[in-house]
Amino acid sequence: MKAILESKKAINAKPFLKWAGGKTQLIPELVRHMPPHIKSSKVIDSYVEPFVGGGAFFFYLKSHYEVKKAFLFDINRELILTYKVIQNDPGKLIERLEQIEKTYLKKTETERKEYYYKIREVFNKQMHNFNYEHFSDSWIERASYLIFLNKTCYNGLFRQNRRGEFNVPHGKYKRPNICDKDNIMEVHRALKDVEIICEDFEASKKYIKRGTFVYLDPPYLPISKTASFTQYSKEDFTEEDQVRLSKFFSEMDKRGAFLMLSNSDPKNEDPSNDFFDTLYKGFYIDRVKASRVINCIGNKRGSIKELIITNYKIGD
């Protein structure tokens, strides 16, 4: 009886990691740009997200719509591992995080810093011989390390160097919420029957058919020559990849899928830059206000324009 009641209870999940490029603040605009028939019916028969990242939009959808089938992709294997741990064994993960949180919060500021770098070193060394293919208790430990590092690192930023090592310095938070037990369980409920896949976005083609709703949130094109917001995994997402993605968009459009894509607007820096206008010519391109959530320079966190591109008309 309890299981039945739990399954009927509304899901209230939110991202379990602070992720660069996260879409929490953009959700009202994303909802406004959703296919009209989905907004009216509140039902999504098939949903594909080829760059899930922190999953803000997916968790919103699971909390407000009936999503019958969902497929989540990301190239970042640490991220996908953690999704799968929450999907398969949230209890053990919570136990591990509670231990880490209790240990960390008891320490002095200097001791916390030492503990952080010790965990970061173990996390990076472990990577070289880690089995990412077969689920085991070592996955739970690794997921707990990733969440701990994300919750206690500087600015809550996940970043890897070209060797794939986590390289963000320690942050200074008085009482970081390392173990958000309630949300982990809500995320677990949201991920029930969801397929989670560590692959390049093009691998999602096999799951996309006529009528599938696809949200594409690639690593953003840097909006200035000095900025780079793409290094969230050891694999760069280059201009050539943006072109490859635009071809994927056109191909899935011909397949009859409903496509929505977000990206940075290069016109913020150069009004004459038509990079995306050219790539997505013939589709619906809208410029919306957004805020930079993660930026190490405080005065660079203001309002900017971002792009939302669809292959359907959103209506009034």
Q: What is the pLDDT of residues 248-265, one digit of tens each?
A: 999 999 999 999 999 999
Mean of all residue pLDDT scores within the chain = 90
pTM of the model: 0.91
Asked whether the predicted pLDDT for residue 239 surpasses 70, the reply is yes
Average pLDDT over residues 41-63: 97
Of 182, 208, 241, the position where a domain reaches its end is 182
Asked whether the predicted pLDDT for residue 7 surpasses 80, the reply is no
Same-domain check for residues 168 and 95: yes
Average pLDDT over residues 99-116: 98
Specify burial of residue 78 (Cβ count, 10 A radius: 0-12, 13-18, 19+).
Answer: buried
pLDDT of residue 298: 46
CATH number for the domain that contains residue 111? 1.10.1020.10
Specify burial of residue 180 (Cβ count, 10 A radius: 0-12, 13-18, 19+).
Answer: middle
Amino acid identity of residue 296, one-letter, is C
Asked whether the predicted pLDDT for residue 299 surpasses 50, the reply is no
Query: Hey, what are 15's tokens?
Result: 């991202």
Strand order in the sheet with 284-291: 195-197, 70-73, 47-49, 213-216, 258-264, 303-310, 284-291
Strands 66-67 and 43-44: parallel
pLDDT of residue 8: 63
Instruction: Give the closest residue to 202 by CA, choosing from 247, 170, 232.
Output: 247
Query: Hey, what are 152's tokens?
Result: 């206690």
Rounded alpha-carbon distances, angstroms, from residue 140 to 121, 137, 316: 17, 5, 46
Percent of the chain residues topping a pLDDT of 90: 79
- Flag whether 5 is in a domain: no
- Flag whether 188 is in a domain: no
Secondary-structure breakdown of the chain: helix, strand, coil percentages, each rounded to the nearest 5: 45, 15, 40
Of 182, 215, 239, the position where a domain reaches its end is 182
pLDDT of residue 295: 47
Count of domains in the chain? 2
Residue 164: how many CB atoms within 10 A of its CB? Answer: 16
pLDDT of residue 19: 83
Same-domain check for residues 27 and 170: no
Of 182, 214, 249, the position where a domain reaches its end is 182
Which residue range forms the structural domain that includes residue 131?
Answer: 80-182
Average pLDDT over residues 83-107: 98
- Flag whether 214 is in a domain: yes
- Flag whether 194 is in a domain: no
* Pairwise pLDDT comparison (229 vs 14), residue with the higher score: 14
Cα(280)–Cα(247) distance, integer angstroms: 9
Same-domain check for residues 114 and 56: no
- Flag whether 192 is in a domain: no
Same-domain check for residues 28 and 56: yes
Same-domain check for residues 44 and 70: yes
pLDDT of residue 224: 56
- Flag whether 112 is in a domain: yes
Residue whose entry in the numeric block shows the structure tokens 């968009």? 249
